[in-house]
Structure 1
Amino acid sequence: MTGPSGVRRLILARHGESEANRAAAEADAAGADRIAVPARDADVELSPTGREQAEALGHHLAPGEKATEADASLTPDAIWVSPYVRARQTTRIALDTAGLGLTPRVDERLRDRELGILDALTGRGVRNLHPDEAERRQYLGKFYYRAPGGESWADVALRVRSVLADVDATDAQTVLIVCHDAVISLIRYVCERIEEADLLEDARVNPMPNAAVTVLERVDAATGAEPEWRAVLVNDVTHLDRHDAAVTRHSGESDDTTP
């Protein structure tokens, strides 16, 4: 499985800034071990800034709106969304702003990566409270390390492959997926067949902003060969600038202890 064969365009949007994103930034700035997350991960809501970003995303998806002066509209035919509140709020605000009457399909396979015992810890907190896990993660690497009770990136890749197969079974040509930064990175990993080292290096040096948009398009290969996916837009935030919404960069990987 290398990505859906019927869909011609995937629009991948990260959710807007959440209250947990803000709490994590405050904890890092204070040198704290723990993040004062306001709710369980699935129930964390958007911050006021996140709501503004979702509105900007909606303008971006509206019929007639252009991604660039030369690009076609990004208006989707179908929408799939993570069940987490921050992703569902982003989707609802964006749809209302765009005036789109589509009904999102909520799918638990698009949920954020589960961090297990490292949930709600800063990188400092992981090293201080779970030094053995920090060492094990450093040894195994980010892609294959699984915290007790949590998931590795490889685990998430398995559910990404599964959900893409179901997206493929629809009649839609342009599908919007609203979810989380690690999930979006892994959709690219699956569809574009990106190598593990390249995937992780890109995530490290190019952190995905909140409400950023990545667009994948399917291009026909040689006769008889499977069509290939290519990224035509990656982590784009021009719509945020265009609609006076702040650009925020919060990693969803609060357990990241790698350099």
Structure 2
Amino acid sequence: MGPAMIMAVRHGESESNLAYRQAGTTPLVYERGDDEVTLTDLGRTQAAALGRLLAELSGDEAPERVCCSPYLRALDTWKIAQEAWGVTPLPVTVDERLRDQGAGEFAHFNLAAIGERHPEELARREAEGEYAYRPPGGESLGDVVVRLRPFLRELDGRRVLIVAHDSVVLALHHILGGRPDAELAAVLEYAPVPNASVSVWRAGGELVRFNDVAHLTS
């Protein structure tokens, strides 16, 4: 039957997001694990804004269940959003398939650090394309699509909120849009996915809005 609605949210700004942004084009090796980083002050503010948005939804628009990435930054985003929403806690499923795209051996490196230490890998990434490149021990965006397909088939007819990562939101856009995997590269036209942005699909994959951040400025 499939879900009546999917609302997908990228987590609020994380400590690693901030560190990579501040580094810019300077090589950075970020020591903390990808599953360990939590939210910055801005990320917590963004998560609370998401909760206020959910509180404004009508009864037939509000999520009925939550599926969340196991990574701390996503779990904390939902915890703060739920507190700001003020509702009785919803059923929450923490699903490993909603984790971020795996960077493998380069999990602690920004692109500048990869180019400095492994220029051949950066060249391969540029040659293969960002969507197809699979770092050593990591995943391509296509791999994220593969693990999300069975997850989506398991969803029931309720309205579902997914709190996860930019790669997951892009993969959902590709799958729910019904495009063949040969056209996966086209989904990068919708990148980047901003922190705490909201994307909504109705039953059947009808896209209602994508990368919406109006709630963060209101």
Q: Gaps spanning 5+ residues in structure 2: where? A: none
- Highest CA radius of gyration, 1 or 2? 1
Residue 208 (structure 1) aligned with residue 174 (structure 2): no
1:188 corresponds to which residue? 173
Residue 32 (structure 1) aligned with residue 8 (structure 2): no
Residue 22 (structure 1) aligned with residue 7 (structure 2): no
1:236 corresponds to which residue? 212
Residue 87 (structure 1) aligned with residue 81 (structure 2): no
1:221 corresponds to which residue? none
Deviation at 1:23, TM superposition (A): 0.5
Aligned residues: 214
Q: Deviations over 1:173-208 (max 9, x none)?
A: x100000001111011111124323212322xxx21
When residues 52 and 74 of structure 1 are mapped into structure 2, their CA distance, relative to the original with a 3 A threshold, is: farther
Partner Cα distance (1:210, 1:84) in 2: 15
Residue 140 (structure 1) aligned with residue 123 (structure 2): no
Question: Which contiguous aligned blocks of 4+ residues in structure 1 show a shift greater than 6 angstroms?
Answer: none
Deviation at 1:96, TM superposition (A): 1.3
Partner Cα distance (1:87, 1:16) in 2: 8
Query: % of aligned pairs identical?
Result: 39
1:43 corresponds to which residue? 36
Deviation at 1:72, TM superposition (A): 7.7
Partner Cα distance (2:184, 2:130) in 1: 10
When residues 210 and 88 of structure 1 are mapped into structure 2, their CA distance, relative to the original with a 3 A threshold, is: same
TM-score (norm 1): 0.78
Deviation at 1:120, TM superposition (A): 2.2
Partner Cα distance (2:190, 2:214) in 1: 20
CA contact (8 A) 1:27 1:35 kept: no
TM-score (norm 2): 0.92
Report the RMSD for the aligned CA atoms in angstroms: 1.6
Partner Cα distance (1:154, 1:142) in 2: 10
1:223 corresponds to which residue? none
CA contact (8 A) 2:66 2:162 kept: yes
When residues 166 and 110 of structure 1 are mapped into structure 2, their CA distance, relative to the original with a 3 A threshold, is: same
- 1:55 is aligned, of 33, 48, 56, to 48
Kindly report which structure 2 residues correspond to 1:111-130, keeping only aligned pairs within 5 A, or say none: 111-130=99-118
